[in-house]
């Protein structure tokens, strides 16, 4: 089949790569020159410096005969002549803090597309084509897309909703082995085309292939994300908070008790300083906005959003409240800027809030390290005397060897772990050697196996899911 993808972000690039791997002839259009250049490079590392997704580079290189990235809309128009389906993979961010989705990227792309669709087959519009929405959008979006096409005079088309369920960091492996494919359409002929697109998965015993109407598909995506977000919020705000409040409750032990009940399940039962990323917050806010606009209460949806916000404020506030730290002029090591491990995506990352918080508190220096996300973080916090970027996690927690040393002769005053990169788990032994015993703020429980040793060695430890662990210093 011939498939066009509009938008070459996480969703567009990854699902187009999987389509090419499924044997389809795929064209991906984006307005970002930089993105097209990097994704077209044919070099694995260059591709993954743009979208840090394990396996994306290899998949694009392996299928290079069947996939092309372009900035050139003339190429798109030519491709449309015998194209079978167009996948809309555009951003739908929240407008400020209103909950409302900003649909201008989508509408701009759809209006431009409508004009081009009119011209296909020498303006005869003979070939039937489907417009497939992969972006996460309001429930009634199908109606708006149809209005745009009808208003422009587009004929011989169908509209399908095919929400994307990929998980960043596992986008390729997850898309090659999805749990489910959800297709929402009004007409059987649209379902038939989509079954061809997903032939690889349609009859697979391991993939749930769900056919519903387009509104159900859009609502299903929003509700699934809200449900997962709510599970995280319960873990942070109820389970974690309980473990922080009462002594002798170890989060990992409570986790075991809960997760061994299959009705509860294990997903989302880990404590963290924040649930960031481009989806959960935005989609919960959008669901709430849509419910409230119709006069329906959205108390639980709103409370989930607030619980997540509260979690980060609470975590940062504990430094002053529990460890009596005065942040002014301190040197802070910030480990991790990506919103979670295995991605370079910093959208809604806790580290952005942390960076702003530390700036406001007038710390002297923030030493930063992340294995993948630093280039994007530098766009928010450019390199300066206050924001210093390190070459490794080890350099980050030590005094950077300049003259005079950036972290002060004795090293950093506070270490904040914000992202769950696996290598941060191994830092305990090194930290135990730091002579000035910085305050440890573990926002991911990465050093959980070292907490007792750290406390015994005189380190104060603030960790999500634990009460304040005051360093034992009376042995000196």
Ligand X SMILES: NC(=O)c1ccc[n+]([C@@H]2O[C@H](COP(=O)([O-])OP(=O)(O)OC[C@H]3O[C@@H](n4cnc5c(N)ncnc54)[C@H](O)[C@@H]3O)[C@@H](O)[C@H]2O)c1
What is the contact surface with ligand X in residues (CB under 6 A)?
6-12, 29-32, 35, 89-92, 105, 108-109, 135-136, 164, 166, 168, 278-279
Query: Nearest distance from residue 174's CB to ligand X, in Å?
Result: 10
First to last CA, the chain: 73
Nearer to ligand X, 38 or 325 (CB): 38
Least distance CB 108 / ligand X (angstroms): 5
Cβ distance to ligand X smaller for residue 30 or 460: 30
What b-and-e string marks burial along 378-411, b requiring 16 or more CB atoms within 10 Å of the CB? Answer: eeebeeeeebbbbeebebbbbbbeeeeebbbeeb
**Which candidate, 154, 140, 24, places its Cα nearest to that of 79?**
24
Residue nearest to ligand X (CB): 9
What number of other Cβ atoms are within 10 A of residue 440's Cβ? 28
Q: Within 13 Å and on the Cβ side, how many CA atoms surround 166?
A: 27
Phi then psi for residue 314, to 5 deg, are -60, -45
How many angstroms separate the CA atoms of 393 and 395, rounded? 6
Both tokens of 38, joined, read 């990097």
Please count the other Cβ atoms lying within 10 Å of the Cβ belonging to residue 113.
25
Closer Cβ to ligand X, 12 or 371, answer by number: 12
Q: Least Å distance between CB 134 and ligand X?
A: 6
CB of 265 to ligand X, least distance (A): 21
**Residue closer to ligand X (CB basis): 289 or 318:** 289
Q: Identify which of residues 35 and 66 has a Cβ nearer to ligand X in the complex.
A: 35
> Quick count: other Cβ atoms within 10 Å of Cβ 75?
14
Kindly give the interhelix angle for 141-152 and 104-118, rounded to the nearest 10 degrees: 40
Size (the chain), residues:
476
Residue closer to ligand X (CB basis): 24 or 35 = 35
Asked if residues 128 and 190 have their Cβ atoms less than 8 Å apart, the reply is no
Nearer Cβ to ligand X (113/463): 113
């Amino acid at each position: 089949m011939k498939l066009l993808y509009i938008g070459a972000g996480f969703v567009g690039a990854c699902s187009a790569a999987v389509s090419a791997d499924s044997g389809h002839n795929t064209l991906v259009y984006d307005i970002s020159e930089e993105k097209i250049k990097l994704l077209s490079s044919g070099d694995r590392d260059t591709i993954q410096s743009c979208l840090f997704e394990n396996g994306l580079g290899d998949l694009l290189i392996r299928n290079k005969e069947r996939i092309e990235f372009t900035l050139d809309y003339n190429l798109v128009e030519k491709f449309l002549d015998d194209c079978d389906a167009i996948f809309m993979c555009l951003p739908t961010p929240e407008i400020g803090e209103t909950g409302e989705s900003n649909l201008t990227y989508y509408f701009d792309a759809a209006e431009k597309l409508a004009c081009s669709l009119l011209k296909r087959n020498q303006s005869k519009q003979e070939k039937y084509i489907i417009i497939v929405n992969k972006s996460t959008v309001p429930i009634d979006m199908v109606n708006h897309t149809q209005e745009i096409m009808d208003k422009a005079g587009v004929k011989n088309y169908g509209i399908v909703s095919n929400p994307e369920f990929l998980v960043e960091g596992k986008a390729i492996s997850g898309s090659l082995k999805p749990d489910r494919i959800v297709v929402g359409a009004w007409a059987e002929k649209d379902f038939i085309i989509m079954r061809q697109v997903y032939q690889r998965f349609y009859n697979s015993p391991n993939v749930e292939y769900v056919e519903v109407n387009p509104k159900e598909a859009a609502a299903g995506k929003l509700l699934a994300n809200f449900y997962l977000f709510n599970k995280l919020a319960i873990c942070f705000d109820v389970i974690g908070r309980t473990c922080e409040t009462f002594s002798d409750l170890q989060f990992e032990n409570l986790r075991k008790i809960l997760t061994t009940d299959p009705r509860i399940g294990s997903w989302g039962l880990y404590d963290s300083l924040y649930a960031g990323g481009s989806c959960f917050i935005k989609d919960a806010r959008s669901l709430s906005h849509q419910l409230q606009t119709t006069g329906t209460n959205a108390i639980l949806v709103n409370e989930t959003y607030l619980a997540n916000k509260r979690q980060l404020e609470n975590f940062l506030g504990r430094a002053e409240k529990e460890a009596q730290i005065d942040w002014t002029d301190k040197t802070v090591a910030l480990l991790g800027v990506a919103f979670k491990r295995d991605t370079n995506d910093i959208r809604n990352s806790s580290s952005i809030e942390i960076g702003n918080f530390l700036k406001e508190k007038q710390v002297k220096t923030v030493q930063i390290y992340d294995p993948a996300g630093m280039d994007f973080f530098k766009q928010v916090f450019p390199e300066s005397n206050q924001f210093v970027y390190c070459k490794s996690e080890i350099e980050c927690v030590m005094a950077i060897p300049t003259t005079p040393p950036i972290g002060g002769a004795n090293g950093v005053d506070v270490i904040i772990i914000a992202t769950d990169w696996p290598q941060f788990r191994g830092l305990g032994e090194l930290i135990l050697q730091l002579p000035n015993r910085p305050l440890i703020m573990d926002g991911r429980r990465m050093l959980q196996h070292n907490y007792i040793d750290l406390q015994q060695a005189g380190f104060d430890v603030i960790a999500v899911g634990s009460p304040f662990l005051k360093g034992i210093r009376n042995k000196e």
